[in-house]
Amino acid sequence: MSKQRSFNTFRAMFPEFVYESYRYEVKDDGFHLSFLFRLGDKIVFEPTAFFPCRSFLNFDVPKPLLDVLVFNIGMIELISYWKACCPPTVVVRCAPVGFMDVPGGGDVAFWKKIYFNGLGEFFYVNKIATTYDEFLNIRVEHCEMSAASALGHMRFALSNGYLVPIGGGKDSVVTLEALKHANCDILPLIMNPREATTLCAEKAGFSSDNVLEIRRTIHPKLLDLNKQGCLNGHTPFSAMLAFYTLLAAAFSGRRNIALSNESSANESTVVGTQVNHQYSKSLEFENDFRRYVRDVICGGEIAPETFNYFSFLRPLSELQIAMLFAREPKYFDVFKSCNVGSKSDIWCGNCPKCLFAYIILSPFIAPEQLKRIFGKDLLDDVSLQLYFDQLTGREDVKPFECVGTISEVNSALSMAIERWYGDSRPALLKAYQPQPPVTQLHTLVADHNLSERELAILASCIKKNS
């Protein structure tokens, strides 16, 4: 059965997906939250999350604010469960008063946009044809909790410190080091710790007791449905993380949430379309999210004390980030950004993410050192030719991974050839025609949400010979 037929069949079988309730509780070991979603009469999902206790966390946050933040986490969590059968209507039964209570309001439009664009890859890969108007309707049946005065309570203890989510790759390392060298108050945040994330935090000087952890679980029923043939595919993880970081900021008393998404995330994955694997890392999502936090979560006001979600690396390209990372050799043996090898904490060496990381670092790290990091010379592996062609623009579709722009890849290869290879090239470069580099290594991109001080920190980092 085609995925389009499955999509149509499942939507007829399950006309509604219900966000029934959310719960949270402070226990001796930390802050627990859970959600109840229903698909039809018999299928129930109960995903959970957990913030372990740390000395720097204060779970005594006023209930109106907790209701707002936890409810919104549930709204982004449900997308992973909705996509199994894609019901045409989502029924919300637990929205705080003032949230999503006007059909077609701005908050409803915000959620529809996240779901539609965040699932762009899901629809494209599964060859599902749908439209923004048709794919989903959100209906609020009744509201139980009041969101009144959430903003006023939110101002009680937010400092100008920085929460920095760590993913285990080069990007968050660059953010950590830049803010650390500028003597900023930093608190690393790790969701579902693995070896690479933990070791990167340790290399930056943070023990596990000085890292904010979030442990998130997927309800096993979803995995069962996937095995039975329900629809599956990519969801906007970074959007989900964004809502969790708001709760983390409230608990830790830090205003600034500094992501590590670069300007390259704005480029579509499929040429000539809006399909973007990195949509929830894009500036478009960042700006939409900031407006939602201001207008909905913060009640239409914004003040220095309220949440400030932004990407610290937005003014940089992937090539600039690679240049900065190459100055931090202490991380070479521990950083990992390969999704295929994430469970084993390895570079698999056979996927487009590995090849992209190898290429983008190649102008700045000597070939022998790169081979030690990745386990082999990826540019000498002819089995990666298709990925190479996708990354360099010979194919119309880039890999569905978090990779840089086509121009950045070609700039990196041209720079690497000039610096290291000359006429003696590895296999993937033998027929490659170098192109003039187009990425300026010492210029910042204009569109971003950084303050003047933060921009000055970045500008200092990318100065020549700094």
Per DSSP, the residues of 65-110 read: HHHHHHHHHHHHHHHHHHTTT--SEEEES-PPBTSS-STT-HHHHH
Contact at 8 Å (CB) between 187 and 163?
yes
Residue 305 pLDDT: 59
What secondary structure letter does DSSP report for 184? Answer: -
Between CA 298 and CA 54 the distance in angstroms is 26
Residue 424 pLDDT: 85
Most confident of 99-103, 259-263, 382-386, 461-465: 382-386
Closest listed residue to residue 261, CA positions, set 363, 322, 171: 171
In the predicted model, what is the mean pLDDT of residues 378-398? Answer: 92
Per-residue pLDDT band for 157 (boundaries 50, 70, 90) equals: low
* Kind and range of the H or E run holding 292: helix 283-292
**Cβ within 8 Å of residue 108, ≥6 positions away:** 100, 102, 138
Give the whole-number percent of the chain exceeding pLDDT 90. Answer: 72
Predicted confidence (pLDDT) per residue in 301-340, tens digit = 555 558 999 999 999 999 999 999 999 999 999 999 998 8
Q: Residue 375: left if φ>0, alpha if ψ -120 to 50, beta else—which one?
A: left
In the predicted model, what is the mean pLDDT of residues 376-392? Answer: 95
In the predicted model, what is the mean pLDDT of residues 168-196? Answer: 96
Between CA 231 and CA 205 the distance in angstroms is 42
Task: Look at residue 78 and tell me whether its pLDDT is greater than 90.
Answer: yes
Predicted confidence (pLDDT) per residue in 249-288, tens digit = 999 999 999 999 988 778 878 777 788 888 999 999 999 9
Rg (C-alpha) for the chain, rounded Å, is: 22
Question: b/e string for 196-224 if b means 16 or more Cβ within 10 A?
Answer: bbbbbbebbebeeeebbbbebeebebbee
Residue 142 pLDDT: 60
In the predicted model, what is the mean pLDDT of residues 86-112? Answer: 79
Task: Look at residue 454 and tell me whether its pLDDT is greater than 70.
Answer: yes
Predicted confidence (pLDDT) per residue in 207-220, tens digit = 989 999 999 999 99
- pLDDT higher at 402 or 90: 90
Task: Look at residue 98 and tell me whether its pLDDT is greater than 80.
Answer: no
Name the 3-class secondary structure at 387. Answer: helix
In the predicted model, what is the mean pLDDT of residues 222-237? Answer: 94
**Cβ within 8 Å of residue 453, ≥6 positions away:** none
Predicted confidence (pLDDT) per residue in 197-207, tens digit = 999 999 999 99
Per-residue pLDDT band for 144 (boundaries 50, 70, 90) equals: low
In the predicted model, what is the mean pLDDT of residues 447-461? Answer: 94
Predicted confidence (pLDDT) per residue in 398-452, tens digit = 888 878 889 999 999 999 999 998 778 999 999 888 887 777 788 888 799 999 9
Between CA 235 and CA 83 the distance in angstroms is 9
Q: Tokens in use for 390? A: 């996708």
Please provide the average confidence, as pLDDT, over all residues in the chain.
Answer: 90
Query: Within 13 Å and on the Cβ side, how many CA atoms surround 164?
Result: 29
Between CA 179 and CA 419 the distance in angstroms is 30
**Cβ within 8 Å of residue 38, ≥6 positions away:** 17, 18, 20, 44, 45
Residue 152 pLDDT: 46
Q: Other C-beta atoms within 10 Å of 297: how many? A: 23
Residue 99 pLDDT: 66
Contact at 8 Å (CB) between 288 and 110?
yes
The amino acid that residue 269 corresponds to is T
Contact at 8 Å (CB) between 457 and 178?
yes
In the predicted model, what is the mean pLDDT of residues 174-192? Answer: 97
Task: Look at residue 100 and tell me whether its pLDDT is greater than 70.
Answer: no
Name the 3-class secondary structure at 237. Answer: helix
